[in-house]
Structure 1
Amino acid sequence: MTSRLPATLVPRLEPVRLTLQAAADRMQDSLIGGAYSAIAREAGDGAAALFLPDGRLLVQARSLPLLLGSLIPAVEAVLKQFPADTMRDGDGYLLNDPFMGGTHLPDLTLVRPIFLQQTLIGLAATSLHHQDVGGITPGSIPPHATSIFQEGLRLPPVRSHRDSQLDALLGALLAANSRTPDLLLGDLSSQWSGTSAGGRELQQLALREGEHFLVLCDALIDQTETLTRQALLSYPDGIASWEDALDSDGVGDDPVAIRVTLEKRGDRLRIDFTGSAPQTRGPVNAAPAAVLSAALYFMRSLAPDAPNNAGCLLPLDLHLPEGSVVNPLWPAAVNARTGTVKLACNAIIGAWSGIAPHTAAAANAGVAAVIAFAGKDADGRDFTLTEVVASGAGAHAGGDGTPGISTDVSNARNTPVEIVEARTPIRIEQYGFATGSGGGGRHRGGDGLRRVYRLTDGKGTVSYRGERHRHAARGAAGGAAGALSRAWIERADGRIEALGAKAQFEWQAGDRLHVETAGAGGWGEPE
């Protein structure tokens, strides 16, 4: 607890907190600002954080919740393979293996030890979604994969850098397994720059605080734990459950149940996913590192003004049944874990409303449709680009839900039309809200989004990963459910081909892809 901090150091605590948060945010800015691919530079699909030498999260950027929590198991995996006392200044460690601390294969995590006068003072970590790391479809998100081996190059924790230089053989291996090697190596360079930026600021802070640096860091983690426990104590004890379902696993046609039970006792909370579906043949399985992001998001929301570190997780017991869709066994396919994690987060929030009814809100649509475009234009030039399309936020007692927004464990920003059209032979012909898709009620749910893409020349393939095509976002307090997602191909000759929640198809110049993401639930009986 912070009460253990000497009184003379208490005034230093807030300046150190602010300095750490600013360092993590600037680290994030460096990571995204220096990236090459649109999914990183424009959509911001990356995350940055600083850790103590023992692997405890010291501070994370205010950025992408879908990746932030997953950095914790990744750093733990690196330390298990490469103990801190074996690390040297200028070393770097890389991984993406979902069965060793990663999430899915396009997300490469880079960890760098930070030294001050030959003493290890922390670790800087970045995670970035790379445009392509191999696998059976461009973009490395095959919606019909049945094994991790079909999804791309899998890296256990490896030493990637020495003396601040990428190992040439590893770089060649990464490039040889990517359809976009220049983007991969450029984005990886930006990850290294991000760790450099964070490392420099951590060194400056440690130099300024001297022998008190680690004491103050420990006190900040204690402070977050204390504030989170106090927040839990302000709610009644209880047990509550929530269940939702993915439309399918992308291979079979059956829904995939996501069930969670919360048990709040005193200043502790247990989140238990027992009752969720067994791991699936298709790629909607979510590795534990991915699901931890949903739990971290919720725990941070209990005491949002607390320092942004690992202390919020100390009152948590997280149970992920082995062999389930939220903790699959090797060699399960996992590339489509986004929808699973978002519904898991929705389920946690929904279950919490059974313990704390005054916090109840209608369900978010929870959709992040991920679309990977690839092919050749009329001149034979290759193109590859991944687009993420958001949906709507649930209504609540205080007002309507927000339309067209990535909610809770959000998954990237909107990609500007200009970038899509500059980098591909695709014209975006419609771009706006799916008007009326939010559920009705005293307060309406947020509308989803509508996109219409036309391939102007050449030919290509599209991998589409959506959700809520069958299972709508629920309303609350008498509000109506949101509308379902829809997607279809309009061929150049006028034929219409409906798409399911997971689809892959080829298209030619003149064909159009229509996407409408789901609306969120409404709140309250209509007046």
Structure 2
Amino acid sequence: MIDPVTLAVIQAGLQQVCDEMDLTFSRAAFSPVIAEADDRSDGIYAADDGSLIAQGAKGLPVFVGVMQFSTRTILDRIAKGLTAAPEPGDIYIVNDPYLGGTHLMDVRFAMPVWRDGVIFCWLSNTGHWPDTGGAVPGGFSASAISAEQEGLRIPPVKLFKKGVLDSEIYQIICSNIRVPDQRIGDVQAQASALLVGAERLAALLDRYGDATVTEAIAEMRRLAAAQMRTLIGLIPPGPWRSTAIIDSDGVVNQPLTIALTVSTTAEGLTFDFTGTSPPCMGPMNSVRATTLSSIYLAMRHIFPDVPISAGAFEPLTITGIEGTFLDAQYPRPVSGCAAEVSQRIAEAVFAALVQAIPDRVTAAPAGTSGNFGLGGHDPEKGRDYVMYQISGGGYGGFAGGDGIANGCSTIGISKAPPVEIMEQTYPVLYRHYALHEGSGGAGQHRGGLGLDYEIELLRGTARASFVMDHGRVGPQGALGGSDGAVNRVEVTQGGVTLIPEHLSKAQDIALTPGDRVRVRTPGGGGYGPPAARDPALVAEDVRLGRYTQAQADRLWPNG
């Protein structure tokens, strides 16, 4: 039996390996969405079934489960002869959503780690590429009705063979994406992160021995499962029910519903999605891997002390997604699954469990990544570009206080790229970048404020597309709290301002110099009855300009 001190040191060591991979990836990447926004993640996965062993603390939580499924898919395809067997120095690439993925822009690399001629484990990472082809720059095609319209779909293949980049496969990729000359920087950064991880992991194994580290990994998984089951024991049996609404699928202008019932069982916790809307025509379908990972990350928000390990997921059972838009099958379009639908799934989990364990769960956060893509030609620099903007929003109020303003999305820790970097890189000017005043939902503890920004095209012509959400209804309040403000998008062309038909989704909007796009992201939901809020806190919010006096009088009549 491994002693607790050695176990803790090895667990921290594995975490450090992943953290160094994350840092290497961001520092070496070319694209601002990775280098500045940290839209990436790295992890260690089991050699036999791809189960999660460790992930970087600064990696996107939604990728925790997804890379587990994609690694498992690679192993299964190798066993069936559908993918070539690995050799030392090989690195596989895959972005196929239907093979354990998310959307096409999230490109995963996987590399086996060899010890004495045997694969000890796999290292894998995911990076959001700014473009993978498809109908619109950036890949967020709000009107797509098939996977082919969203971009290049890559099954698991060896991009690096015995340490050497396969130029033929790389040329195929470059021939199907925009600004291909810039991708080599991200590709090399992604591969370098895995090589750094392999070097650091080898040092750890050399120090403690393969057998001891293997024993530690098994014990980490067992303890994570036990800890999750213990915490689930704090939840009353239920059932606890909730719904979450998606504005539309981008094609049919009708809302989609996520229906959820959560119940405790002897084995753990069951999430039943019976009653959820069927598959949709537009890109707001979610593949199974993303759906399951969304539930995992929601539970990580609620019980953050449980170690990141496949064991933490063992007590969680998911049912009722078959035949719904949460279990998309090819060729259903899925560009909105990881960035948007995943957050509605998490919101449904929060809305159900805040009733059961109110001291541990918040009201709904903004729940949208604000995916905004802009592609065009910059005549001053003489080159094409694809710009991808993500944005934060308000967090929900909670038992301990108000929600965070302009926090990162529910699915990760990615931050918006600095305005200065974006203006240096692309022909745009941020005319406005501030908090979305008045957007936090009223409550005893109010929701955090969203973000309010406006981008102007300075030169050349461009096409804008965006896939966002919460434009129809705001993030849910909890325990008597009010909903947060909705997402608002306005496009100004030739001095005329319009609101898109689908509110939060549109594509191929032609922009010329002087045209603008303004986005106001949602505020978080309020927690507890507004009448219970301390009047001094209401007055302080008014003093700081977070709300006007008129807004405060309406939201907190007793304030």
Q: 1:213 to 1:67 in 2, by over 3 A?
A: closer
CA distance in 2, matches of 1:383, 1:320: 42
Whether 1:364 and 2:361 are equivalent positions in the alignment is: no
1:449 is displaced (CA, Å) by 0.4
State the Cα deviation string for residues 480-502 of structure 1 (Å, max 9, x = none): 2111111112234x211112211
Q: 1:489 to 1:86 in 2, by over 3 A?
A: closer
Partner of 1:279: 279
State the Cα deviation string for residues 58-114 of structure 1 (Å, max 9, x = none): 101112112232111100111011249942211111111111111111111110000
Partner of 1:61: 56
CA distance in 2, matches of 1:231, 1:411: 24
Q: Which amino acid in 1 is paired with 2:307?
A: P
Name stretches of at least 5 consecutive residues in structure 2 with no aligned partner. Answer: 534-559
CA distance in 2, matches of 1:468, 1:427: 26
Indicate if the aligned counterparts of 1:242 and 1:259 stay in contact, CA closer than 8 A: yes
Whether 1:426 and 2:431 are equivalent positions in the alignment is: no
Partner of 2:315: 315
CA distance in 2, matches of 1:105, 1:10: 42
CA distance in 1, matches of 2:199, 2:383: 41
1:413 is displaced (CA, Å) by 1.0
**What root-mean-square deviation, in Å, do the aligned CA atoms of Structure 1 and Structure 2 show?**
1.7
Partner of 2:517: 513
State the Cα deviation string for residues 357-395 of structure 1 (Å, max 9, x = none): 433432212121100111123445312110001111011
Match for residue 464 of structure 1 among 456, 463, 466: 466
Indicate if the aligned counterparts of 1:131 and 1:184 stay in contact, CA closer than 8 A: no
State the Cα deviation string for residues 255-283 of structure 1 (Å, max 9, x = none): 01112211112450111222111111000
**Identity level (%):** 30
Indicate if the aligned counterparts of 1:232 and 1:267 stay in contact, CA closer than 8 A: no
1:411 is displaced (CA, Å) by 6.3
What pairs with 1:195-210 in structure 2 (closer than 5 Å)? 195-210=194-209
Match for residue 501 of structure 1 among 488, 504, 511: 504
Q: 1:276 to 1:411 in 2, by over 3 A?
A: farther
CA distance in 2, matches of 1:153, 1:411: 27
Partner of 2:109: 110
Q: Which amino acid in 2 is paired with 1:513?
A: V
Match for residue 75 of structure 1 among 57, 71, 92: 71
CA distance in 2, matches of 1:10, 1:487: 53
- Stretch deviating more after TM superposition (129-138 or 435-444): 435-444
2:469 is paired with a residue whose SS is: coil
Match for residue 22 of structure 2 among 22, 25, 28: 28
Partner of 1:525: 530
1:294 is displaced (CA, Å) by 1.3
CA distance in 2, matches of 1:303, 1:452: 36
Indicate if the aligned counterparts of 1:299 and 1:313 stay in contact, CA closer than 8 A: no
Tell me the TM-score normalized by structure 2: 0.90
Total equivalences in the alignment: 520
Name stretches of at least 5 consecutive residues in structure 1 with no aligned partner. Answer: 1-5
1:236 is displaced (CA, Å) by 2.3
1:522 is displaced (CA, Å) by 1.3
1:506 is paired with a residue whose SS is: strand
Partner of 1:305: 305
State the Cα deviation string for residues 122-157 of structure 1 (Å, max 9, x = none): 100001111111111111111111000111111111
Q: 1:459 to 1:302 in 2, by over 3 A?
A: closer
- Stretch deviating more after TM superposition (79-88 or 64-73): 79-88
2:355 is paired with a residue whose SS is: helix
What pairs with 1:321-332 in structure 2 (closer than 5 Å)? 321-332=321-332
Partner of 2:549: none
Q: 1:34 to 1:320 in 2, by over 3 A?
A: farther
Partner of 1:176: 175
Tell me the TM-score normalized by structure 1: 0.95
Indicate if the aligned counterparts of 1:64 and 1:411 stay in contact, CA closer than 8 A: yes
Whether 1:355 and 2:356 are equivalent positions in the alignment is: yes
1:403 is displaced (CA, Å) by 1.0
